[in-house]
Structures are given as C-alpha cells and as structure tokens.
A and B are shown apart, each in its own frame.
Chain A
Amino acid sequence: MAVTTTYEPVIGLETHVQLMTQSKMFCSCSAAYAGAEPNTHVCPVCLAMPGVLPVMNRLAVEYAFMTGLALNCQIPEASKFDRKNYAYPDLLKGYQISQFDLPFNINGWITVEAEGVTTRVGITRAHLEEDTAKLIHRHDNGDSRSLIDMNRSGVPLLEIVSEPDLRSPAEARAYLQKIRLIVRTLGVSTGNMEEGAMRCDVNVSLRPVGTEKFGTKVEIKNLNSARSVLRALEYEIERQARALDSGELISQETRGWDEDKSVTFSQRSKEEAHDYRFFPEPDLPPVFISAEWVEELRARLPELPDQRRERYVQEFQLSPYDAVQLTSSVEVSHFFEETVRLYPNPKTVANWIEGDLFRILRERDTEIDTLPMGPPQLVELLQLIDRGTISHGTAKEVLEDAAFSGKSPASIVKEKGLTQISDTEELNRAAAAAIAANPQALADYKAGKKQAMGFLTGQVMRATGGKANPALVNEILRAHLDKA
C-alpha cells in the first residue's frame, strides 16, 4: 500500500561521546580499555565497593565544558552529579553517575549543512556521565550466560542531546557528522563510531505536513555509524507513515536496528521500562565554574569548523560550497592547507582535492589520512602540469597511481613514459596526417565550422597516445589549416 498523507519527520538525537582522557572519570584506572585484557582496568571505586570515594577527573570536566562552548551552550555557574538507578549488569553498582537537573551545558546550537541547506539545530544539553561495562553473551552446549568486562565502566562519557529540530534522515546524518567533526577538532574524542567512542540514539515521530503537534515518538537505540542513522531513519519513517495511513496508533517504544536485515524492531515498551529515581550523588561535591574559568577554557578552543569554513571563504576566496567540502574533516583541511602552503593557488588545489582525490577516496572507501600520498606529491603533480610536462588528463592518471603507491609523480611519469609531447616536429607530422586523413574536417573548418578543430585535435591526441600538449596541438593545427 502506498503512503498517501505527506508526513513531516521530527527527529532528535542523543549522542554519547567518549572523552579522550588517560584515566577514568571518577577513579585513576586507565581509560584505555580497547584491546586490554578483561577486568584489568578495575579498582574498588569503579566496582563501587563500600566506603570508596569517587573524585572527578579535572581534564574530563574541562573537555565537557570546552565541548559545550563549541556547541554554543550556556554554562550554568553551578552543576552537580546525580545517581541514575537501574538494575542491569552493565553497571555493577546498580547506578550510573550522571547529571540530572543541573547539567554542565545547556541551550546551545550548531549549524548543519544537508542537501545544500543550512539549518540551525538546538542543543538541549550536554552532560557528563560514566560509560558502562561491556557485556559478552555466550551460548554453547545448551548453556547461555552473560559475561562482564568492567574495563570500560567509568570511562568519561559526554551525552549531547539535540532539540527535535531535524526534519530528514540526511539532516540527522549531517548533524552527527558535525558533532563528530567538532569533537575531533577539539581533540576531546576520537569520534570513532566503529570502535564505540561515539554512539547514537535517535528519536523520531511523524506529523502531517503543516501541523504543529508532535506525533508519538519512537526511540531507535545504539546506532553505530552515520550511515546506520540514515538508513534506520529512512526505514522507520516509512514504517510509521504506513502505520498512520492505515489508521494504526504508533506505540511509544524503544526499537533496535538490524543492520543486516535493514529493519528496526521493537525492543521494549516505554511505559513499563524506566524509573531511574535520580538523586544527588552524595560523594561528589558540586562544581562551580567562574567566569574566569570559562574564559580560560574558551581561550583553549582551537579554530572550530564554522570558523575554519568562514576563513576559507575570506582567506582563500573559495566558494562557501568549496569551504564546506574542504572542512568536512580535520584530515582533509590539514591536507588542503599544507598543499596550499606549498602551492599557493587555493582554487586549483581545491578542485583537485574535491574532484579527483575525493573520487578516488570514495571508490576505494578510504580516508585521506590513510593514503600513502601526502601534500608534497600533489604539489609535485600540479607543478608537472604547470611546466607542461604532462597534460591535465595524464595528471589524473598519475594521481590515481601516486595516491596508492606513494611514489613521486615525477618518477611515475618517467617510468610510464607519460611525458607530454611538446616536440613541434612530431606534432607537425601528426597534424598534417590528421588533416590528410579527414578531408571533410578540413572542408568544414574552411566553411567556418569551428567544431572541426576539436575533432582534429582529438585525432592528434589519439595518434600521440594522449601525450601531446593540447595547447600546442591547437596552435599547430590552426597553422596547418589556415595555410591549407
């Protein structure tokens, strides 16, 4: 059955970002849990033994505030931690230390670019909490059990909650990518979703276009890539639209995302689920942040993505579109700026990065910083074009090779014999041969049909294996045609 009513999706995201500290949030256990032997980064504090005292990691607190500033948040003078109580084995102590009614950061916003449109998305809050333990499920010989590795338990986690300001799956994905870019630019998190350093829950409801009232929302839990956010939302919006069209009620529930089957599925219904009984964490004194401290932290902020984008427009005279592309990741902007430093022609550099280099990265599904090729090789390539050693077309081929071999473009040109033919004698012969073989083209040219020129240039290029200098070919052809 086709969907008949036009619905507008209303989407909000809760994003969990692990902060890149050396030690855990409330104890001195190492936070480097990835790859560690199970239960080796555990102490009485993260086990919540009786009588222990958690103490806040100052760097984690500062990272949380710096992220809040980068998200244009207000920082209330007073904040505190609370206990969020729930019984699930990923928390051995039966509660998570989190922030309830006085979070570190409130009322922020970021801008998000999706499908050529810039949208301002509100940030409700960004609060600090602790990560949970990792559960492993084993089934064999008819025996099922769950195992707990506590190494991750207590790693600092910043939860960033957006307002329900997003209106499409593409916007939601762009929002997540922007958050990732911001935390990576700040250097407070790896933002690596595959490794779980960044995770995301999505809330989505539908309402008929033109109406104000929110529909019943569904939460999709544990999305672990920007792509799964996009796909899960596309699926869920379609599912809800069909249900609403056939007169069903959407039940407020939590759903999971099955990546392999590409479907969301019901997990538990919200009504019965949660009663967290938050209360102030008695072991942690409140945090008061002075105006001086805020300013000190603000001074530590690096150039943020929006500022960088703006600078690219001002300093390099790039279009806003180019600026968005080139600031889409920390690595791409480093690559671009280093190349421009060595080869001060920003527009040319931008075209090569956004065009051929991005295409190569997409085709090979890789990132710019994992290429063996760096800015010096791109610069060398551009200089080979400028000197007339290779044509633009040949340069694309050389780039493809250099990108993955890491070889110098000059040596690739030499090895493959790609040097452009600028030998006038050889080109004169080729031009004369092309004209002789195509009398119609000559007649067309004489009759004023300038396309004939393009055709003949193509013939000469082909005869020389694409290595002829096109400008020179044109010049020589014209001389031949005019005196013929």
Chain B
Amino acid sequence: MISREDVDHAAMLARLGLTEAEKQLLQTQLSSILEYMQALSQVDTSGIPPTAQVIPLRNVFRADEPATSLSVEDVLSNAPDREDDFFRFPPVFE
C-alpha cells in the first residue's frame, strides 16, 4: 500500500492539483498497480546483467547537419498562451 504522503509527493512533482477524492482514489489505484507489478519480483534474475534497453540497437547517430525547423506559427499552435512569438506562462522566478 502506498502512503498518502507518496501520493501528495508524486502529485507535487507532476504539478497536479488533485481533489481529496482524487487523492484517495489514486492511492488505491496506484497501490494495486504496484502490487500487480510485484509479480515481476518473482522472476529469478540472478545471473542476468541489468539492462537499460531492450531494443537490439547501439550507436545510432546522425550527421551534424542543420535542417529546416518549423514555422513560428506551427511551433506556437499548441501553446496554451502566447505573447509576440513566445510561449507565455504565469511568472516564474529563480
């Protein structure tokens, strides 16, 4: 069972504003997902080196050649808000 603090923390990291009801629901759902994933720990992995990738590829590169980018209108077409040719956000300060 994951704790209520875990839910709060994960929501904060993802910048999700959750209602009390949603938090309770997610606590239950996330717990059962993690429980289900526990099945993996039953597999004997001794002697198998850890891997970060399951695709049999390595060293995939491209040449350092610039290509045309999108138009500013296309770049900003999904922006929730814009000002001039910028994405516009609520103020953030360092």
A28 to B64, CA, bound (A): 7
Cβ-closest chain B residue relative to A90: B92
Interface of B is mostly: loop
The closest CB in chain A to the CB of B79 belongs to A148
From A58, A147, A285, give the contact of B83 (CB < 8 A): A147
Q: Is the CB of B69 within 8 A of A43?
A: yes
Interfacial chain A residues near B15, Cβ < 8 Å: 87
Please count how many residues in chain A sit with their CB below 8 Å of the partner chain's CB atoms: 56
On chain B, the number of residues with a Cβ less than 8 Å from chain A's Cβ atoms is 35
A38 x B86 contact (CB < 8 A): yes
Q: Does A118 contact B (CB under 8 A)?
A: no
- Asked if B86 and A88 make an inter-chain contact with CB atoms under 8 angstroms apart, the answer reads no
Q: Does B7 contact A (CB under 8 A)?
A: no
Given contacts A30-B69, A40-B69, A55-B60, whether A149 and B53 have CB atoms under 8 Å apart is no
Bound form: Cα–Cα A39–B76 in Å? 8
Q: Which of A29, A85, A146, A287 makes the CB contact (< 8 A) with B13?
A: A85
Q: Give the chain A neighbours of B57 by CB distance below 8 A.
A: 285
Give A144 to B90 CA distance when docked, in angstroms. Answer: 7
- List A residues 261-316 near B (Cβ within 8 Å): 267, 275, 277, 280, 282, 284-288
CA–CA, A23 to B66, complex, Å? 5
**Is B88 part of the binding interface, using a Cβ–Cβ cutoff of 8 Å?**
yes
Q: Check A285–B91 contact: CB distance below 8 A.
A: no
Contact B61–A57 (Cβ < 8 Å): yes
Assembled-state Cα–Cα distance A316/B52 (Å):
52
Q: Which residue of chain B lies nearest to A85 when distances are taken between CB atoms in the complex? A: B13
User: Quick check: A28 and B66 within 8 Å, CB to CB?
Assistant: yes
Judged by a CB distance under 8 angstroms, whether A60 is at the interface is yes
**A21-B64, A39-B76 known; A148 vs B85 contact (CB < 8 Å):** no
Tell me the A residues contacting B by CB distance below 8 Å.
21-23, 28-32, 37-44, 47, 55-61, 80, 85, 87-89, 92, 102, 135-139, 144-150, 221-222, 256, 267, 275, 277, 280, 282, 284-288
